[in-house]
Structures are given as C-alpha cells and as structure tokens.
Amino acid sequence: MTIGSTLIERFYRSLYLIRRTEEEIVKIYPTDKIKSPVHLSIGQEFVSVGVIEALRCDDIVFGTYRGHAMYLAKTGNLRKMISELYGKITGCSKGKGGSMHLVDVDKGVMGTSAIVGTTIPLSVGYALGLKYKKSDSVVVSFFGDGAVDEGVFHESMNFAALKKLPILFVCENNKYAIHSYHINRHDSDNICERVKHYGMQVERIEDGDIFKIYNFTKNVIDSLRERDLGPVFLECVTCRWKEHVGPNDDFHLGYRDKEEVEWWKANDQLNKIRMMADDKTAKLIESVVEHEIADAFNFAEENTVYNEKEIYEDLFKE
Ligand SMILES: Cc1ncc(C[n+]2csc(CCOP(=O)(O)OP(=O)(O)O)c2C)c(N)n1
Ligand SMILES: [Mg+2]
C-alpha cells in the first residue's frame, strides 16, 4: 500500500512527523542530551505544512530559529536534525549550530538563523539570483511577527516589490515576540495592511485553516513561476503552545491567558486532518513515522562527539 498520495495523507504524514518529533524533544530535553536551546513549533506546524505541500522539491525555503516544522515539512533529513540538536558531528550543521541553524541544501532548506529577520534579505537575494538565471523555482521566506519590527524587513519588502522577485513571504503571526504582545509593538494588529503599501499582493488567514493556506499558496506559486507577478505576502495568524524557548508551558509567567491557547488547541489542524483521514492509512503513517523518529534519536545517541581537532574546524576561513 502506498501512503502519501492524497493531499490528506501528505498533510497528515508531515503534521504527525513534526508534532511527534517535537514531543520526543520535550521528553528528552530534561536529560541534557540535547545541547541546544529549542524553540518549538508545536501548534504552529500547519503553517509550514500548508505552504510547503504546495511547493515543488526544487523550490527554496529560508526560516527562523523556530524552524523544525519548516525543515521537516520540506523533507529535511531527520537523523541530521536530531544529531544537530545533540551537538554531534553527524548533524546538519556538523553539530555546531544546534536547533536554530538547520540546513539541508539538497532539499532546498537553505538555512535558519537565531538573529531575528536575518534570513529575509538572504531569501530576497536568492530570489534575485533565480530571476537572473531565468529559473522557474520560487523562494519562500518564513519569519515571525517580531521580524516585522526590524528595519531589514522593510528594506527587503521594498526591494522585492521593486524588482518583482519570485518570492512568497510567510509571516507566522503568533502575536508574540518572546513575551511582548503585538499590539504593544504595532499600531495595528494587521500586518498585511502595512505591507500592501510596498506594492505587493497580500493575504491574511486568521483561522488557521490548513486548506486555505495550501490553496492560496498553490495559486500564487503558480503565478510566481509563470508570470512576473512579483512578491506575495501571506500572513498566517497562529499560536505557539509552548514557552518561547524550551519544552514547558509558560502560563505562570502571566503574559498571556490559557484561554488564548485553548482556542487553538480545540482547532488543532493535526486532529482535524486525522479525523478526515482513512483510519487504516493514518495508523500506517503513524507506525512508519514512529519508526523514523526512533531511528533518528538512536542514530544521534550512537554517533560520536567531536575530537579535539575537529572542534576547531570550520570556524574561520583559512
Ligand atoms: C536582531 C535580534 N533582536 C533581538 C533578538 C532576541 N529575540 C530572540 S527571539 C525574539 C522574538 C521574535 O519573535 P517573532 O519574530 O514573532 O518569532 P517567534 O519567536 O514568535 O516565532 C527576539 C526579540 C534576536 N534574536 N535578534
Ligand atoms: Mg511571534
């Protein structure tokens, strides 16, 4: 039986893989085997999955330190991701970058960064390169609502619109930059309202519907490939279930109410898709994915740490 052929199966496989991988990270984290801070995407996975399922393999993505979902949705190597978190030489950044620096060039995952906003101009530069080469691949640039506060965000929007670049900007608006609420940082809660003035098509999806995200992306990506449509901006309202960084809940901090998160948990896209999927197929997907996750953690545990020479390699250009 082949799995992963229908859209529901593809959604379920990807959502389930991301959720379960991060749940394992939550379990293992207290043991200190993971040597890197982790910014979990639990609850937000549907944004990456909805967008990336509408892409081709040769399309390119850039993202942020909250990048597990994007990396895995774009089929980044799981063994290399978990090894990276463990600080092992077999990691995707040779264990020197950790969770915030995921990369898998073969899969079009060009990088994530700890510094807010930094991959936005890199994505724009990549899109300019594609346009010069007359390639029909497109770039998707993922970032949070906090990145909108950075000067480089606005420079990048302007330049991408000016040059009509083949790029989709995806803002994962979880309404918080660490513990700072969006309307304490912005005059309006609607980011699209501001971005449209740069001269690009904008769309805001507020209810977390993965199908709306997928359908919108599919349509605009085709237009970006075929015509000189220029950049497009997609704002997806979402919710981070866990603390800003780390494996725990954070309601005791008092900066947000539990009810805010409860609404999103009740609207969980993973559960929704599970109910739409054929039960037998869903169970098969679950068992295959569980095996892959166990294999990746075993691989990371068994592999070597650095020897003294290797630890100084790749740090400076000779
Ligand atoms: C240039 C820069 N300024 C400040 C920080 C500290 N910082 C780390 S995460 C973060 C919040 C970013 O929020 P957002 O872009 O909404 O992403 P989210 O964590 O919600 O996914 C800040 C301010 C940083 N890493 N880089
Ligand atoms: Mg945010």
Q: What does the longest C-alpha to C-alpha distance in the chain come to?
A: 56
Ligand 1: atom nearest CA of 172 is 21
How do residues 220-232 score in pLDDT, each as one tens digit? 999 999 878 889 9
Q: What is the pLDDT of residue 4?
A: 65
**Pocket of ligand 1 contains residue 145 by CB under 6 Å:** yes
**Pocket of ligand 1 contains residue 115 by CB under 6 Å:** yes
Ligand 2 centre to CA of 264 (Å) is 15
Ligand 2 centre to CA of 237 (Å) is 10
Residue 315 placed within a domain:
no
Residue 70 has pLDDT above 70, yes or no: yes
What are the distances in angstroms from CA 131 to CA 105, 122, 128, 235, 260? 19, 14, 5, 24, 42
Q: What is the pLDDT of residue 1?
A: 46
Residue 221 placed within a domain:
yes
Q: Residue 44: which of 202, 208, 212 has the closest Cα? A: 208
Residue 1 placed within a domain:
no
Residue 87 placed within a domain:
yes
Residue 314 placed within a domain:
no
CATH number of the CATH domain containing 240: 3.40.50.970
Residue 252 placed within a domain:
yes
Q: How far apart are CA 145 and CA 161, in angstroms?
A: 20
How do residues 109-121 score in pLDDT, each as one tens digit? 999 999 999 999 9
Q: Which two tokens stand for residue 311?
A: 């630890």
Ligand 1: atom nearest CA of 145 is 16
Residue 106 has pLDDT above 70, yes or no: yes
How do residues 170-184 score in pLDDT, each as one tens digit? 999 999 999 999 999
The mean pLDDT value of the chain amounts to 95
Residue nearest to atom 23 of ligand 1 (CA): 177
Q: How far apart are CA 157 and CA 164, in angstroms?
A: 10
Q: What is the pLDDT of residue 3?
A: 61
**Pocket of ligand 1 contains residue 177 by CB under 6 Å:** yes
Residue 308 placed within a domain:
no
Ligand having the closest approach to the CA of 244 = 1
Residue 318 placed within a domain:
no
Ligand 1 centre to CA of 64 (Å) is 9
Per the structure, the complete domain to which residue 221 belongs is given by 7-303
Number of domains in the chain: 1
What are the distances in angstroms from CA 98 to CA 31, 213, 229, 270? 16, 29, 37, 26
What are the distances in angstroms from CA 259 to CA 23, 70, 136? 22, 27, 44
Ligand 1 centre to CA of 175 (Å) is 12
